[in-house]
Chain A
Amino acid sequence: MADLPAVVSGGWAPVAAGLLGALAVAAALLDGALAGRAAGVRSGMGQPAGEVARLLRQRRRTTVAADRLLWRIGGAGLLGMALMIVTVVPLGRWTLFDLGVGVVWVNALDVLAWAFVWLTGWGANSAYALVGGYRFLAHGLAYELPLMFALVAPAVAASSLRVGEVAAAQQGLWFVVWMPVAFVVYCLGVVAIAVWGPFSPALGRDVAGGVTAELSGVDRLLFLAGRYALLAAGAAFAVPMFLGGGAGPLLPAWAWVLVKAAVLLAGLVWLRRRVPALRPDVFMEVGWLVLLPAVLLQDLLVAVVVIGG
């Protein structure tokens, strides 16, 4: 059994936030570069910086009879969620919180995306934004249960809900190797809570940007940053859950965590360019008839192996 991560003081929290920010910025740069290459324009890599400058210079606006408080909470909430998720992700030998129920903590946080995305759609008092918000809930109905059961598999295998212990239980064999279904479903869930790529109909062009239809200036910036941060936080959490934590040759454990998270993140960013959006009504069938049974079978298999072994 490898060493469990040591809890560091809360003073290191800004460092964790900085690392999450760095991953999110890297994701935005990669996305900009890929989009630029696809469109054949010059300024691919500069796109995120330009977008930030543009939104900082832009005025905030509001709409008639907007529910401003809930609207702002929803818009800023995604970023807060991502920050809370990384507090339990061990960076090699260190972690900010060593919660006994770390896995449940992350699961509880990812459900918050339902509230935040929907509230952003609701608060603007705009038909398109509200349609977008409900589309996210429809996706949620299909991805959330499979995501929960996907997180069950590593916890069962490690016989612990402590993230550090789950990571330590993978000495020798990473969970991704013998629970690939749970890993794929988990990744789909991460893409979904970030309202990313195939799960972006909530922000669809057909409803003039959906949830983001009425956002401008710093509000839009927070929402967009929250999506990238969630993608990064989801990729980072996959490292202790499925990718062996800090295990790896040569490099120190903390570096391996970052490398693995960055590689997975790059994969998720790239995915957006390759596939069209999944319509919520169509994905509902997949979620309930394919993903849920598949991931339940995965859990059963894991449980049998754990009891048998």
Chain B
Amino acid sequence: MGVSGALARLALRHAHLLVIEVPGYWLTRVAVERLAGVRGWRLAVSPADADILAVCGSPGPELALVVARLWEQLPGPRARIDVAAPDLVAAALDQAEAMLRDTPRQRRDSTARDGQGLDDAPGGDIALAHGSEDRDGLEMDVLQVRLGPVLPDWPAGLVLRAHLHGDLIVEAQAGVVDAGQGGPAGGGHVVGGDTSGDIRQVDAGEVAARRCDNAARLLALAGWPDAAGGARAIRDRLLTGDRSAAITELARLRRRVRRSWLLRWSLRRVGPLPPDELARLGLAPDLTGDVWDRLNGMLDRAVFVTGGPAGVAAGGPAGAGVGGPTGFDVGGSVTPPAAVASVVSGWDVATARLIVASLDIAALDVVTDG
């Protein structure tokens, strides 16, 4: 074995995974994240950072194309796993580890990739950005960037075609990947309180876990990995049935978030949405306020549906408990993609990401806005 064997063993204990969630398979994605964390593995933020590509669910043709392109961008040694259900995750991760451990196989893969792929694409055929006037009337380059469908802490399947001035989104069109494929496959995994369909009864723990998952994403995007990790741990507890510990920790996380003046200062006044605007866009009425209000609203809703002791006090300092406990739309309704495109226009990428994460999206309407 020698040095390279020891290196491989050490490296395998710290593999990075890029997780791709097919819409409707969030429980599978959560299971991948949880079990990978147990192994000491990390979540990658980009294909360059990843050793393992974990596809949760069966992608439609459009997403499959994206997945194939991302697979080409993994530097290698690399392994791809396709996981169809939460109970298959452990076996799939074992398989990924075996593939990464197999040095001869990785070497063959590496040799096969030499002389092809990105390195040798002709440099001359890249279109230059075209110009247009920016908000101050200056000539600016306009760059078309597709945000999604695969980005860290991004709603599954969402694609935003953004026109960027620098990093300012001047205009965006939203869509859902594989929207024409008749909705998400494997409907059994569609959760998060999607009550619009004939989907199985969703239990409160799952709804609360979904809120925690969304809050974790927002906290991660706000650059606070510790709090995000805490929210993810609560989510996992709620899903694995450790309800009482989860409720205590949730209350603690909510206090910690509320007390962080730095976070409050950073998220205040970002993406304000008044009630009439929400109604016009077809968004849930409890998303009133700015990103800070919505973050607290998510945590309040999680507390409320778990029936935690603090649930009654939901109309707390941030005023997030609009309408009191009975007014909560605990399920998280289906979000129209057009609304997402509309609320991010005029913001820079960083704030737009915070706003999208603050919408507490559980499911996206597959009707696109072209």
Tell me the complex Cα distance, A56–B350, Å: 32
Chain A residues whose CB sits within 8 angstroms of the CB of B224 once the complex forms: 275-277
Number of contacts between A and B (CB, 8 Å)?
160
Encoded as 1 (CB less than 8 Å from any B CB) or 0, chain A from 161 to 201 comes to 00000000000000000000000000000000000001011
Question: What are 17 A-B residue pairs whose CB atoms fall within 8 Å in the complex?
Answer: A38-B230, A39-B37, A39-B229, A41-B40, A49-B10, A53-B11, A53-B14, A65-B121, A198-B223, A205-B45, A205-B152, A208-B45, A209-B49, A213-B45, A276-B227, A276-B266, A282-B265
Chain B residues whose CB sits within 8 angstroms of the CB of A160 once the complex forms: none
Say which size band chain A's interface belongs to. 35 or more
Q: Is B7 at the interface (CB under 8 A from chain A)? A: yes
Given the interface contacts A207-B349, A277-B223, does A50 sit within 8 Å of B11 by beta carbon? yes
How close is A230's CB to chain B, nearest CB, in angstroms?
Answer: 19
Chain B residues whose CB sits within 8 angstroms of the CB of A57 once the complex forms: 4, 7-8, 11, 77
Tell me the complex Cα distance, A76–B192, Å: 45
Encoded as 1 (CB less than 8 Å from any A CB) or 0, chain B from 231 to 249 comes to 0010000000000000000
Tell me the complex Cα distance, A115–B349, Å: 22
Tell me the complex Cα distance, A63–B47, Å: 12
- Interface residue ranges of A38-76 to B (CB < 8 Å): 38-43, 46-47, 49-51, 53-54, 56-65
Tell me the complex Cα distance, A204–B8, Å: 28
Interface size of B by CB at 8 A reads 58
Chain A residues whose CB sits within 8 angstroms of the CB of B121 once the complex forms: 64-65
Contact A209 B223 (CB under 8 A): no
Contact B223 A60 (CB under 8 A): no
Chain A residues whose CB sits within 8 angstroms of the CB of B16 once the complex forms: 54
Interface contacts beyond A61-B73, A135-B350, A277-B224: sample of 10 additional A-B pairs, CB < 8 Å, sorted by A: A41-B40, A53-B10, A61-B75, A65-B121, A205-B223, A208-B45, A213-B49, A275-B262, A276-B263, A281-B348
Given the interface contacts A59-B110, A208-B45, A279-B350, does A64 sit within 8 Å of B118 by beta carbon? yes
Residues of B within 8 A of A (CB): 4, 7-8, 10-11, 13-16, 37-38, 40, 45-46, 48-49, 51, 73, 75-77, 110, 118-119, 121, 123, 126, 143, 145, 151-153, 164, 166-167, 219-227, 229-230, 233, 260, 262-263, 265-266, 348-351, 353-354
Contact A200 B223 (CB under 8 A): yes
Contact B45 A58 (CB under 8 A): no
- Interface residue ranges of A199-245 to B (CB < 8 Å): 200-201, 204-209, 212-217, 220
How close is B264's CB to chain A, nearest CB, in angstroms?
Answer: 10
Among the interface residues B51, B152, B223, which one has the most CB atoms of the partner chain A within 10 A?
B223
Among the interface residues B16, B126, B262, which one has the most CB atoms of the partner chain A within 10 A?
B262
Contact B266 A278 (CB under 8 A): yes
How close is B78's CB to chain A, nearest CB, in angstroms?
Answer: 9
- Residue of A64, A200, A214, A282 near B266 (CB, 8 A) is A282
Contact A205 B220 (CB under 8 A): yes
Which partner residue on chain A sits nearest B236 by CB separation?
A40
Contact A216 B126 (CB under 8 A): no
- Interface residue ranges of A78-133 to B (CB < 8 Å): 127-128, 131
Tell me the complex Cα distance, A41–B119, Å: 37
Contact A58 B262 (CB under 8 A): no
Contact A61 B260 (CB under 8 A): no
Contact A42 B40 (CB under 8 A): yes
Contact A38 B226 (CB under 8 A): yes
User: What's the dominant secondary structure at chain B's contact region?
Assistant: helix
Tell me the complex Cα distance, A281–B14, Å: 35
Chain B residues whose CB sits within 8 angstroms of the CB of A50 once the complex forms: 10-11, 13-14, 40
How close is A258's CB to chain B, nearest CB, in angstroms?
Answer: 28
Chain A residues whose CB sits within 8 angstroms of the CB of B152 once the complex forms: 205-206, 208
Tell me the complex Cα distance, A61–B70, Å: 13
Chain A residues whose CB sits within 8 angstroms of the CB of B350 once the complex forms: 135, 201, 204, 206-207, 279-280
Given the interface contacts A41-B37, A279-B266, does A54 sit within 8 Å of B14 by beta carbon? yes
Tell me the complex Cα distance, A209–B47, Å: 10
Tell me the complex Cα distance, A39–B110, Å: 33
Tell me the complex Cα distance, A83–B106, Å: 36
How close is B44's CB to chain A, nearest CB, in angstroms?
Answer: 8
Chain B residues whose CB sits within 8 angstroms of the CB of A200 once the complex forms: 223
Tell me the complex Cα distance, A131–B147, Å: 13
How close is B76's CB to chain A, nearest CB, in angstroms?
Answer: 5
Contact B143 A127 (CB under 8 A): yes
Chain A residues whose CB sits within 8 angstroms of the CB of B10 once the complex forms: 46, 49-50, 53-54
- Interface residue ranges of A6-53 to B (CB < 8 Å): 35, 38-43, 46-47, 49-51, 53
Which partner residue on chain A sits nearest B151 by CB separation?
A208
Contact B221 A204 (CB under 8 A): yes
Contact A127 B118 (CB under 8 A): no
Which partner residue on chain B sits nearest A48 by CB separation?
B14
How close is B193's CB to chain A, nearest CB, in angstroms?
Answer: 26
Chain B residues whose CB sits within 8 angstroms of the CB of A206 once the complex forms: 151-153, 221, 349-350, 353-354
How close is B195's CB to chain A, nearest CB, in angstroms?
Answer: 30
Contact B49 A216 (CB under 8 A): yes
Given the interface contacts A51-B14, A201-B223, does A217 sit within 8 Å of B45 by beta carbon? no
Contact A43 B40 (CB under 8 A): yes
Contact A58 B75 (CB under 8 A): yes
Q: Is A143 at the interface (CB under 8 A from chain B)? A: no
Among the interface residues A49, A57, A135, A282, which one has the most CB atoms of the partner chain B within 10 A?
A57
- Residue of A43, A65, A209, A280 near B126 (CB, 8 A) is A65
